[in-house]
Amino acid sequence: MCPTSRWRGSPAATDRSITDLTKLRKELGRIRRTGFATDNGEQEPGVVCYAVAIPDVPISMAISVSGPGFRMTQELGKQAVPLLLAEARSISEELLGVLG
């Protein structure tokens, strides 16, 4: 049996939290397509976060920027995501240089 077939949801941190497996899979697909994740109050009410993975490193790592929703607008997100992606690539290159 596939491990996800037993998935029963996760506890909701807020009323915006994703607790349904189908919705979670859809969101993960969007993240894979766009290269970034957005938390729009799913973890903490009123807080918005944009996050990107650090690519090509042997452990899971990410960087993010977050703040109150009234400051972390979609427009700011459109500006922040390319900067986060560029910095993630830079961090990856540095880490791979150190790790050999």
Sorted by where each begins, the domain ranges of the chain are 17-99
Residue with tokens 């697909």: 29
Average pLDDT, the chain: 90
pLDDT digits (tens, 9 = 90+) for 12-21: 899 999 988 8
pLDDT digits (tens, 9 = 90+) for 19-69: 888 999 999 999 999 999 999 999 999 999 999 999 998 889 999 999 999
Per DSSP, helices labelled H in 1-100 are: 21-34, 74-99
Residue with tokens 């920027």: 65
Counting other chains too, the contacts that 24-32 makes at CB distance below 8 Å and 24 or more residues apart are: none
Predicted confidence (pLDDT) at residue 10 exceeds the cutoff of 80:
no
CATH code linked to domain 17-99: 3.30.450.40
Cα–Cα distance, 42 to 4 (Å, whole number): 21
Say what the pTM is.
0.83
